[in-house]
A and B are shown apart, each in its own frame.
Chain A
Amino acid sequence: MTATDQLSQVFSALADPTRRDMVARLTLADSTVNELAEPYDVSVQAVSKHLRVLERAGLVSRRREAQRRPVHLEAEVFDLMTTWIERYRRQAEKRYRRLDALLAELPDETEGDAK
């Protein structure tokens, strides 16, 4: 899977408010499916379906060995997102530094004309 594909999956996984809420709760602690399902007015099956989407995007994992199979948040994926967003920011910053240089060159008098 390429970086772009993975990021597409991450973004579409996080486009759903219930899944975003589940991720937010998993930042506090690992939880079982039942614990995750508790606050929502949906079935455990529906929560499991959301979890599969999060799992496919690499956002969460479930340990096979443990009996309770708690859901664990994969923080590295968020680092990837942050890095990716930071690259976009740097690209914008690069453009705006060129704009800084241009603004420094522009004579002030034309500013008055423009008003």
Chain B
Amino acid sequence: MNEAEIIVDDKVPVLRIIREFDAAPAKVFRAHVEPELFARWNWDDGYSVRFDHFDCRTGGSYRITMSGPEMEGSVHGSFHDVIRNELIVQTFSPDAAPDLVVLEKHRFEDLGSGRTRLTAQSLVESFEYRDAFIDAGLLEGYARLDQLLKDL
């Protein structure tokens, strides 16, 4: 069973998610670079997502406006390097906080037999920002955390 693994580095503010897929790198890569495919899996139900532009190639850029239960607003970014079926290096910022820049690397590794290992690495500029970054990814309530804190 493919299951996401997360690595939170304690020396640099990096988050790494590693996940394997029962599909060849070309397919997994396509699902990241074609906006209509990307939109079909990257957001939870209840989100409306608009791609103002999305030009996934070396030197390209994008701007996405999303609206949903936990997140509202636009993000924009630049694709620094895109190597077909292998690598996407990009930066992104929320429009509302242009100084909060995240450097992301997606590496697509061919495992053979139609399988791919994806490593998605995010580097933020401080440990505090990483905290906020993880927090922004939490789309569920804080109920369990609140309970834990009460028990502390």
Given A76-B152, A103-B31, A12 contacting B145 (CB threshold 8 A): no
Selecting from B34-42, B75-83, B95-103, the interface stretch reads B34-42
Query: What is the total of A-B residue contacts with beta carbons within 8 Å?
Result: 128
Given A8-B128, A98-B41, A103-B31, A89 contacting B6 (CB threshold 8 A): yes
Q: Mark B79-99, 1 if CB is under 8 A from A, else 0.
A: 000001100000000000000
B21 touches A15 (CB 8 A): no
Q: Does A4 contact B (CB under 8 A)?
A: yes
Q: Mark B1-30, 1 if CB is under 8 A from A, else 0.
A: 011111010110101010101111011111
Contact-size category for B: 35 or more
A12 touches B21 (CB 8 A): no
Q: List the interface of chain B (C-beta within 8 A of A).
A: 2-6, 8, 10-11, 13, 15, 17, 19, 21-24, 26-31, 37, 40-42, 44, 84-85, 118, 120, 126-128, 130-132, 134-135, 137-140, 142, 144-146, 148-149, 151-152
Main DSSP-derived SS at the B contact region: mixed
B6 touches A92 (CB 8 A): yes
Docked CA distance A76–B152 (Å): 7
Using CB atoms, name the residue of chain A closest to B142: A3
Distance of B67 from chain A, by nearest CB (Å): 18
Using CB atoms, name the residue of chain A closest to B17: A92
Interface CB pairs A-B, < 8 A, 15: A3-B146, A4-B142, A8-B128, A8-B131, A11-B128, A80-B149, A80-B152, A87-B140, A88-B138, A91-B140, A92-B19, A99-B21, A102-B40, A115-B84, A115-B85
